[in-house]
Amino acid sequence: MRSTTLRLLALPLIVLPLQSAGGVLSSHAAVTDVSCTGDAHSTYSPGVTDTERQTTITAQHNYTHCTSTDSKVTSGRSNHQTTRLDSCHTGASGTSGRETIMWNTGESSAYDFTRTVTENNGSATVHHQGTITQGKFAGDTATEDVALKDPDPNNCRTAQGETSASGTVQLQITK
């Protein structure tokens, strides 16, 4: 009886240090280095139509409201261009790209990403996921979501097609 009581009394001494060790047995939560919202604008040349064709897409993202572990980072912007087969109804999911973000501090972050696109009659939801490979926040994971709305879905049915779309962007960079 006495050895059973001693074993039961010793059990909390073993468990408590494991609980108070602050994550020794658990995985670490991601730390957000920067989180931004803003506006996005894309142009298409030639315009996207109901028929898939080779199109140059130029995207501009303005990150106007940022919070960061670096209090000096309050905003940023990026511009990138790609040429691919596109239409109002097909996305370029699974394709890759590179984006460089210029921060208000003069620093930059370059990241390689994989793209997932969902298109519906000219509007698009674009998801980029990748790793910061150069510059500020190197080694972190970048996730960017862009929601674009075309001005007139009927443009997809014209010869000129939809030549631009605007919307919102959300960016999160985590360790």
Share of residues in the chain with pLDDT > 90 (%):
58
Whose CA is closest to 74, among 35, 40, 128, 131?
Answer: 35
| 133, part of any domain | yes
Residue 21 resides in a domain: no
> Looking at the domain assignment, is residue 12 inside a domain?
no
Name the domain count of the chain: 1
Mean pLDDT value across residues 116-128: 81
Does pTM top 0.85 for this prediction?
Answer: no
90 within domain boundaries = yes
CA distance 64 to 66: 6
Residue 35 lies in a domain: yes
CATH number of the domain that residue 57 is part of: 2.40.350
Q: Which domain holds residue 137?
A: 31-174
> Considering the domain boundaries, does residue 139 fall inside one?
yes
pLDDT at 123: 75
User: Is residue 23, in this structure, part of any structural domain at all?
Assistant: no
Q: How confident is the model at residue 122, as a pLDDT?
A: 60
Residue 8 — pLDDT band, cuts 50, 70, 90? Answer: very low
Averaged pLDDT score across all residues of the chain: 84
